[in-house]
């Protein structure tokens, strides 16, 4: 009996020692270095992200199986990634948090297996996956085994796409193969000054192209949220980033068959905002802020904008109407008059397809003079990229509600969720102008030889550029007073919550990628 008791005690002590080692990551010195960089540890991040006391860890004691290059002496319980499940706002999520203090957070075969395990569990129970990325990339000592690990993760990213939400937070370096899993997920967030994403780092760039570039300029948060569009938002520090991630998740269903979240709403459904009646300037050449229009229509303080500094001529993000989550797309007259260009088209198309995959209704606010002209756009493939936006709206089967606030010209009128693309509720404000092109351009073509072009331009505007023509043909369901917009949208969302529309069976479509 005594021997058995001592044996149990020895095992218990050994387990506890391993657990303590796992909790310490790469050791106190490396943790202190992480803190000096104003970064939290992998476990601290999870404690901030998840509801208090909800985290349950998997594979705490897993170690790598590499026996080469002195790796026998570099064994750490957990092998550089903390995985498990927890809750956010009381709802289940699966998480992994890479630990940069352990071998630079590099990916090994066992490390990848831990991530794949929680992805498989997430798919089995239909819950979101969140990755907190802080990794130098593949573990070079493991060679092809590390690459195989990445491939396994990528395959599961693709299988989970459109089934469960996948969110990525970049919280440190993310290099090489490490960048492709975030690229395959639905939304990618970054931390300013401490997070980076690049396929090859500055040293390799210098060797290959002879360019001198810093990590920040090559792949920092500013680069990816303003120039590449790889990331959807950036935050000033780890704490703000994790709070932002919690907020984003609150708009999303748990999976593609889960109803969209409906939160308690203290903003009156029938609230009328008279400021909207004068929001659109009488002069069609004067800009106004579509973001303010959105803020005045949705539930107060509920608009969560995505990619605010990338392709700012179009706005995308989530909001709530009567407490119900909706996806919002709006042209921004303050930037390029709200015209659609390559970047704006791709930005909106991807967002629309996400909303459609997860049953989130779409609200489109339209003030678009057309597609951006010029050789840069044509040579860059505006036809193909613009077709992505057209495809996304036409393919979507979720409730689609569209409000034309002012201009809706040419092909851009069609593309921006028009009635012709199976729109469910299409209305216009009295200030709307719906036509093939602006009155000035039309008059220049039609009345080229007329002695009084100004008079004919006004006549064209009166006859063709008002919403009455479209309404008389049934292309608009109503012409509404702007102040009534919120109430009408909420009414329609309530009516359309039982909408049932399916596309013809197909393996998949051929979107013009």
> 302-355 pLDDT, tens per residue?
999 999 999 999 999 999 999 999 999 999 999 999 999 999 999 999 999 999
Both 316 and 381 in one domain: the answer is yes
Both 484 and 404 in one domain: the answer is yes
pLDDT in tens, 124-182: 999 999 999 998 887 877 778 889 999 999 999 999 999 999 999 999 989 888 899 99
- 17 lies in a domain? no
pLDDT at position 2: 46
Both 299 and 414 in one domain: the answer is yes
Both 282 and 237 in one domain: the answer is no
CA distance 272 to 486: 7
**How confident is residue 192, by pLDDT bands cut at 50, 70 and 90?**
very high
Choosing from 162, 410, 411, 441, the catalytic residue is 411
- 329 lies in a domain? yes
**How confident is residue 457, by pLDDT bands cut at 50, 70 and 90?**
confident
**How confident is residue 20, by pLDDT bands cut at 50, 70 and 90?**
low
pLDDT for 118 beyond 90: yes
CA distance 171 to 174: 8
pLDDT in tens, 70-99: 665 566 677 889 999 999 999 999 999 999
For the ranges 2-16, 244-258, 454-468, the maximum mean pLDDT occurs at: 244-258
**How confident is residue 7, by pLDDT bands cut at 50, 70 and 90?**
low
- 70 lies in a domain? yes
Both 165 and 307 in one domain: the answer is no
- 255 lies in a domain? no
- 258 lies in a domain? no
pLDDT at position 419: 97
Phi, psi dihedrals of residue 241, rounded to the nearest 5°:
-65, -45
CB of 229 closer than 8 Å to CB of 347: yes
pLDDT for 370 beyond 60: yes
pLDDT at position 25: 64
| H helix or E strand, kind and range, residue 85 | strand 81-88
173 contact partners, CB below 8 Å, separation of at least 6: 100, 134, 135, 136, 195, 196, 215
pLDDT at position 272: 96
Both 239 and 314 in one domain: the answer is no
Of the two residues 278 and 28, the one the predictor is more confident about is 278
Both 97 and 216 in one domain: the answer is yes
| Joined tokens for residue 486 | 């919120």
CATH of the domain at 55: 3.90.226.10
CA distance 359 to 397: 8
Both 380 and 471 in one domain: the answer is yes
282 contact partners, CB below 8 Å, separation of at least 6: none
CB of 399 closer than 8 Å to CB of 327: no
Q: Any idea which residue has 């092109």 for tokens?
A: 437
| Joined tokens for residue 279 | 């929001």
Q: Could you tell me whether strands 187-191 and 233-235 are parallel, antiparallel, or unpaired per DSSP bridges?
A: parallel
CA distance 379 to 377: 6
Both 190 and 293 in one domain: the answer is no
177 flagged as catalytic:
yes
Choosing from 25, 136, 137, 176, the catalytic residue is 176
Choosing from 80, 136, 137, 177, the catalytic residue is 177
- 510 lies in a domain? no
**How confident is residue 103, by pLDDT bands cut at 50, 70 and 90?**
confident
pLDDT at position 314: 98
- Helix (H) and strand (E) counts for the chain? 19, 16
pLDDT at position 431: 94
Overall average pLDDT of the 285-309 stretch: 97
| Joined tokens for residue 374 | 């010029």
pLDDT at position 6: 45
Choosing from 42, 307, 392, 412, the catalytic residue is 412
Average pLDDT, the chain: 91
pLDDT at position 461: 75
pLDDT at position 250: 98
Residue 428's Cβ-count burial label (10 Å; 0-12, 13-18, 19+) is buried
% of residues, the chain, pLDDT over 70: 92
- 489 lies in a domain? yes
CB of 407 closer than 8 Å to CB of 438: yes
Least confident stretch, 55-69, 88-102, 410-424? 55-69
474 flagged as catalytic:
no
Question: What total number of domains does the chain contain?
Answer: 2
- 131 lies in a domain? yes
pLDDT for 442 beyond 50: yes
Both 378 and 240 in one domain: the answer is no
Give the residue numbers spanning the domain of 337: 274-496
176 flagged as catalytic:
yes
Both 233 and 314 in one domain: the answer is no
Could you tell me what percentage of the chain is helix, strand and coil, using 3-state DSSP and rounding each to the nearest 5?
45, 20, 35
CA distance 166 to 183: 10
pLDDT at position 77: 74
Closest CA to 361 of 298, 314, 442: 298
pLDDT at position 86: 98
412 flagged as catalytic:
yes
Both 396 and 283 in one domain: the answer is yes
CB of 167 closer than 8 Å to CB of 197: no
CA distance 341 to 358: 26
pLDDT at position 284: 86
Report helix, strand or coil for 419: helix
């Amino acid at each position: 009996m005594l021997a058995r008791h001592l044996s149990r005690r020895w095992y218990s002590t050994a387990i506890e020692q391993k657990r303590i080692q796992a909790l310490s990551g790469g050791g106190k010195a490396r943790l202190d270095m992480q803190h000096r960089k104003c970064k939290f540890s992998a476990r601290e991040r999870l404690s901030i992200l998840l509801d208090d006391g909800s985290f349950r860890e998997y594979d705490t004691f897993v170690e790598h199986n590499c026996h080469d290059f002195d790796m026998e002496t570099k064994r750490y319980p957990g092998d550089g990634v903390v995985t498990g499940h927890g809750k956010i706002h009381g709802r289940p999520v699966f998480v992994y948090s890479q630990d940069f203090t352990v071998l630079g957070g590099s990916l090994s075969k066992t490390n990848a297996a831990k991530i794949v395990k929680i992805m498989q569990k997430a798919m089995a129970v239909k819950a979101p996956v969140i990755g907190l990325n802080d990794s130098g990339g593949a573990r070079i000592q493991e060679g092809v085994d590390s690459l195989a690990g990445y491939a396994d993760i990528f395959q599961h990213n693709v299988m989970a796409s459109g089934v469960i939400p996948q969110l990525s937070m970049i919280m440190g370096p993310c290099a090489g193969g490490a960048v492709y899993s975030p690229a395959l997920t639905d939304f990618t967030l970054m931390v300013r000054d401490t997070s980076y994403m690049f396929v090859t780092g500055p040293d390799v760039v210098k060797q290959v192209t002879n360019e001198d570039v810093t990590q920040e300029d090559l792949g920092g948060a500013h680069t990816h949220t303003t120039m590449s569009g790889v990331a959807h938002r950036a935050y000033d520090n780890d704490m703000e980033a994790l709070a932002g991630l919690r907020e984003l998740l609150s708009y999303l269903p748990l999976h593609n068959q889960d109803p969209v979240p409906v939160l308690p709403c203290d903003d009156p459904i029938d609230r009328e905002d008279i400021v909207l009646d004068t929001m659109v300037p009488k002069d069609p050449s004067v800009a106004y802020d579509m973001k303010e229009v959105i803020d005045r229509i949705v539930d107060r303080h509920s608009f969560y904008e995505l990619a605010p500094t990338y392709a700012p001529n179009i706005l995308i993000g989530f909001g709530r109407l009567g407490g119900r989550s909706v996806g919002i797309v709006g042209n921004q007259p303050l930037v390029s008059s709200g015209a659609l260009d390559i970047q704006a088209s791709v930005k909106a198309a991807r967002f629309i397809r996400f909303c459609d995959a997860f049953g989130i209704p779409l609200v489109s606010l339209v003030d678009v003079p057309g597609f951006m002209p010029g050789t840069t756009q044509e040579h860059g493939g505006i036809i193909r990229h613009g077709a992505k936006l057209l495809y996304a709206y036409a393919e979507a089967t979720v409730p689609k509600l569209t409000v034309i606030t002012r201009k809706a010209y040419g092909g851009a009128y069609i593309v921006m969720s028009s009635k012709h693309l199976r729109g469910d509720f299409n209305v216009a404000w009295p200030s709307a102008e719906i036509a093939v092109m602006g009155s000035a351009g039309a008059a220049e073509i039609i009345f080229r030889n007329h002695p009084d072009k100004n008079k004919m331009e006004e006549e064209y505007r009166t006859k063709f550029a008002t919403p009455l023509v479209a309404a008389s043909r049934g292309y608009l369901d109503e012409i509404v007073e702007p102040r009534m917009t919120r109430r009408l949208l909420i009414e329609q969302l309530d009516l359309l919550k039982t909408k049932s529309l399916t596309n013809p069976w197909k393996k998949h479509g051929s979107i013009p990628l």
